[in-house]
Amino acid sequence: MSLRRFLPAILALLGWLSLASPVAAPAALAPALWVARDGDTVIWLFGTVHQLRAGTPWLSGAVARAFASSDVLTLEIAPTDPAAMAAALVAVAPVRPAPLPPALDRRLRQRARALGFPANAFDATDPWFAATTLGAQPLARAGYSAVPAPETLLATLADRRGTAIEPLETLDGQLQTFAALPQPAQRTMLARVLDDRDPVAAMDRVVAAWGKGDVAALDRLLANDMDEAGPAVRAALLERRNAAWARTIARWMRQPATRFVAVGAGHLSGKGSVQARLAAMGIEVSRVQ
């Protein structure tokens, strides 16, 4: 069964769509913000959540001022339209997917049907993609979307203001990171999604900690998730990327500019965070909000 047939529904669930024009709500939340600076360079580090409910008020105070003062917005990947996303997903789809263990395959088909997909919707995909899609669907039903989330709103505002947007990664590279995960790790991801009886409550806890700037609580929530996913997933999705991003930011510190870097909050928490890696390179990073 072709992946392309189901891409419109899958992309809508994941929130990987072209940017809308959301309106920021009155100030209420205070997510964490850090800064690294020297004589002629300022780099703001802002941790995001990739999906929020509409009307969640987060762009205010120090975060709004830091963004407004910046010459460049840096995101994990550049804003992407549905056609480009669909093409990139098809490009990483396996030619001949490895068969799932029978018990896991039965559970996947049952969940796909329960969530409104054909039972064979994921026959042409790797387990990571099925896991990501099925994990996003309950969140979408609960009102979570990429539209009001930081990456979308910041990119929309940057476009309106003429602020440059420079990504840390390419879309193809980010998808390939998932596609390159070992099959056992991907199956673990899928099994965990199928085991999760209340993903909305888990997301609510993450958003609550993020909105209060409670980095310790956020680290506990996300670290537990990564621990359950296994070392291969942690290394691929966090450790190697954090190290690469820290090296890039260190180079930017030698280039006069004010840059607002917005990446997933999990990259800015814990022992191997981007800030910790910058500190190890002699670059001081301080908490602002």
pTM: 0.89
- In terms of C-beta density within 10 A (0-12 exposed, 13-18 middle, 19 or more buried), how is residue 197 classed? exposed
Residues 229-273 have pLDDT tens digits of: 889 999 999 999 999 999 999 999 999 999 999 999 999 999 999
pLDDT value at 15 more than 60: no
Give the Cα separation of 37 and 96 in Å (integer): 49
Pick the closest to residue 105 from 93, 123, 89, 128 (CA basis). 123
pLDDT value at 8 more than 90: no
Split at pLDDT 50, 70, 90, the class of 42 is: very high
Locate 26 and state its tokens. Answer: 């009155």
Angle at 246 between CA 248 and CA 135, to 5 degrees: 105
DSSP codes of every residue in 145-170: ESTTSHHHHHHHHHHHHT-EEEESS-
Residues 43-76 have pLDDT tens digits of: 999 999 999 999 999 999 999 999 999 999 999 9
How confident is the model over 210-234, as a mean pLDDT?
Answer: 91
| Spacing of C-alpha 82 from chain mean position | 17
How confident is the model over 156-164, as a mean pLDDT?
Answer: 96
How confident is the model over 192-219, as a mean pLDDT?
Answer: 94
Going 184 to 189 to 192 to 193, the CA torsion angle's sign is negative
Locate 99 and state its tokens. Answer: 């068969």
Percentage of the chain exceeding pLDDT 90: 82
Average pLDDT, the chain: 90
Domain boundaries, the chain: 3-287
Give the Cα separation of 212 and 31 in Å (integer): 6
pLDDT of residue 182: 96
Residues 6+ away with beta carbon under 8 Å from 253: 36, 38, 41, 43, 283
pLDDT value at 9 more than 80: no
Pick the closest to residue 176 from 235, 244, 245, 91 (CA basis). 91
Going 160 to 31 to 135 to 266, the CA torsion angle's sign is positive
Q: Are 147 and 10 in contact (CB under 8 A)?
A: no
Split at pLDDT 50, 70, 90, the class of 81 is: confident
How confident is the model over 156-179, as a mean pLDDT?
Answer: 96
Phi then psi dihedrals of residue 264, to 5 deg: -50, 135
